[in-house]
A and B are shown apart, each in its own frame.
Chain A
Amino acid sequence: MERCYINGMGCISGQNTFEGDFLENPIDYSKTNIIHVVKPDYKAFIPPAAIRRMSSGVKNSIVASTLAMDEAQVKELDGIITGTGMGCIQDSEKFLDKLIGFNEQYLTPTSFIQSTHNTVGGQIALKLRCTAYNFTYVNTGGSFQSALLDGLIQVKNEGKNNILVGGIDEIAEYTHKLYQAIGHIKEDGEADYNILENRSKGSVAGEGAVFFVLSNEKKESTSAEVVDTHIINNLKVNGVNGFIGDFLQHNNTKLEEIDAVILGNNGDIDFDLYYDEAEKLFESSKILYYKHLFGDFMTAPSVSVWLASNMLKKQQIPNILYKIDKTRSSKPLRNVLIYNQYRGKNHSLILMKNV
């Protein structure tokens, strides 16, 4: 069985993550319940006519995937695998607005075509003229992890190399309001949105496009190894210990060998209990969180993989990621575990290792 390395990354997010900056000057979002991406210079990556036509998720994906492939120095891929929770929701909204607003009149195909979930995968394939394997996962909070798992199987078990894996979600105005109406997104007007201090209903909304090139060859640009990932759809809070324990055992890794754990805390009073439970397990690991900087969205775990890769490569953890403000072991970072769940569903673990 081969090993699976991350050889290139591109991250468009609520922070300045696309130019090699590793949270040196983090943007403070503690007073907002919605975090949009910091827009990159699209013109450097996409022809002007296409920029106008594409939704932000597609544009961000083109930029992030280009960055990832450039860093990995690959031009050809054995696969393009994307994950997206809501798909191209901006175009879905556009089409729905007309469909409902004008009673099925005056519709044009553009937004329908662009609303399909596999638009990003198709667009990247078109741009690269890449006829290889092309998959799109749409499994709520497990969309990106499904894509990652698929890529991992390709590289480790199926002899494939240079698989592009990405997670994409975009904020769309009306859908955002709808999810806020049902309490998935925090209400407007809370005094602050400090997700550790003040838990309340819902999460701070975010968006992003994060891409990786997975490969079986270690090279200079390699940042980390993805050892394994596991997803299950349902878990009770008291099942968290067993879920994590079984996964680590399966990967011959002891709890105390985990140097850092990245948790998906999003300040949701109904579901952060899972992370409380997970945190108790790790007595000597550094406990980190990140959604205060990026918001939460269905494919937010893609950001945590980007963070873990950077941490492992640079052997450095930005202060702003510490959930527990105490210095635990000062050993070099070797193993990083990521745990995420989405509203009590789509529980996932990702184990990463330094190279």
Chain B
Amino acid sequence: MFYRENGQFKTTYRADQQIFPIAQDRVVIGLLLAFAFFIVPLLASDYLFRAILIPFLIMSLAALGVNILVGYCGQISLGSGAFLAVGAYGAYNFFVRIPGMPLIPALILGGLCATLFGILFGLPSLRVKGLYLAVATLAAQFFSDWMFLRIKWLTNDSPSGSVSVSDLQVFGLPVDSAPSKYWLCLGVLVVMALLAKNLVRGAIGREWMAIRDMDVAAAVIGIRPMYAKLSAFAVSSFIIGVAGGLWAFIYLGAWEPAAFSVDISFRLLFMVIIGGLGSIMGSFFGAAFIVVLPIFLNQFLPQIAGLVGLEISTAGTAHAELMIFGALIVWFLIVEPHGLAKLWSTGKQKLRLWPFPH
């Protein structure tokens, strides 16, 4: 009723297979991108940029990577924090050791380091499945924790083990103001999301999904499990690695291995599960939920309490934040086990065939 595709005839296969086959979708996405690129920098405050938008964009990118592995290829991974760390430290080493190394190639090289690392720790996936694989990928996490704490060379012999970067530039333009950092993250995210979307629509994405749905059947119809699984690990860890580089370089500026602890692996997995497994869109919803909601609750709860004349302490807020956050996760998973992305598509269906979609 609100938006219909009546009269939009597809006359070529190309038109039928595009990412957004409905004209309204294309318009909305175009407007959204224009809004994100041009209007948001005019409206957002420094705080909104640095504390909410930039971490949201970077975590969306990381969740996108995790979604390829977990959502599309069905390989549960708890090693995402390690891939982030390898990407960050890889980019760092290229950045400080090679004089005049530009930022973007450093990030890409960091991503490639993560790719190699991901393939290495993806090897167990050829033999073990499901929860056992989750445990095997946890090894990646512990290995990276150990590696970046103990191997001094990787942290440029910094005595405290903490490293930092500064003087970031892209094409000669300094990346120090909040909007410039935002643009960089948004640009990387858009390019990566487009690549990821096209990959999962293509032959390789179909192989991943076939492996996810039933690997024996996939093998029978001629899909090589090794190639499919390892390529999913490679692509996923590349994206996560680039996200790790951005998280370290753009968001934190100075970091230690604890910034990529197992905690962040779990958070990324939750993002993907809550956002929607096997959905590019879901990665964004999940990241928004996990990144923004705690910060929002943290600031909103004291105000809500203030409205009814109560004063809650900082500790009270922190505890309430965790409780409400946990309750919301449970609630969302009960009402919509397929994640926020499914809610979104149900909503879209309802708009197309009001009020009863099939």
A and B assemble together: no
Binding site for A on B (CB under 8 A): none
By a beta-carbon cutoff of 8 Å, the part of chain A in contact with chain B is none
